[in-house]
Every structure is written in C-alpha cells, then in structure tokens.
Amino acid sequence: MARALATVWPLVKGCITGSVLGITVADWVASVVTMDGASMHPTFDPQQAERALVEKCCLYRYDFSRGDVVVFRSPRDHRELMVKRLIALPGDWIQIPEKQEIRQIPEGHCWVEGDNAALSFDSRSYGPVPMGLFLRQGHT
C-alpha cells in the first residue's frame, strides 16, 4: 500500500503543481477563449468556433487603446463573457448615429461595439461599460 502510494506520489505532485501553475498563467499572463455569435463579423467568423488568445499582461498598466478587442463580463449577466471592440475611453465624446446624439463617456467606463453593427448587443444597448468588468484587464 505504502509502496503504491510512493510510486504514484510524484505523478500526483506533478499534476497539482502543473494545475496551480496553469491557473496562475491563465489568470495573469494569457488564456484562451472560444468565440460564439456573429456580433464581431468579419473579425471573428461565427461559423467556425474560433479560439482566441486573451492577453492578461496589461493588467498592471490598465493599458487599453481605442480599437482593441476586449473581453469583459456582461453587465446584464455576470456569468457571461463578451468580446467586443473598445471604441472610446473615459472622457471621450462619442457620436451615436442611431440615436443622433453625442455622449461623454464617464470616468472609469468605456464604450464597446461589435464589428457587425446590425447583430451586436453592445454599448448602444446597455451604455458605457465599467472598466472593472474587463477580464483581468486583458485583451486579444
């Protein structure tokens, strides 16, 4: 019994170490997300279940640029992740053609839109998104 345990233990230890290392890397360095939905066509093809690399390194610089594709928790459903393009940063004035209005993005928020405007449920529906919802401040 003790001998069987002794032979298995290095394997178990390796698995645990690997998992913990994997979790830390996925949270803080980069992880992979599977695409779903047509809101970002043609950047992402809805038919193909593409997988994208989500980079997490910019978390300590909180370093986003207009035009980045970002991953964030949906403001309507915190269990769901969404992928959209960051259009405006805090303090920017953005023009919304559908509503014929101009809005200023409040501090700590940003405006996101899908590339496929007709099929995208984004800031034009739920307003500016708090940057705290960004997944560990990562981007693809």
Cis peptide leading into residue 42 (ω within 30°): yes
Place of tokens 């001998």: 3
Q: Which of 39, 56, 120, 123 is catalytic?
A: 39
Residue selected from 40, 120, 133, 139 as contacting a second copy according to rule CB under 8 A: 133
Q: Is 104 in the site for a second copy (CB under 8 A)?
A: no
Residue selected from 8, 12, 15, 23 as contacting a second copy according to rule CB under 8 A: 23
Residue selected from 12, 14, 17, 53 as contacting a second copy according to rule CB under 8 A: 17
Q: Which of 31, 56, 84, 123 is catalytic?
A: 84
Active site residue 123: no
- The three-point CA angle 65-123-96 to 5° equals 90
Q: How many residues in the chain? A: 140
Residue selected from 9, 36, 66, 76 as contacting a second copy according to rule CB under 8 A: 76
Place of tokens 């992402």: 44
Three-class SS string for 72-110?
EECCCCCCCEEEEEEEECCCCEEEECCCCEEEECCCCEE
The footprint of a second copy (CB under 8 A) covers 17, 20-21, 23-24, 27-28, 62, 72-79, 106-109, 130-134, 137
Give the catalytic positions in this structure.
Answer: 39, 84
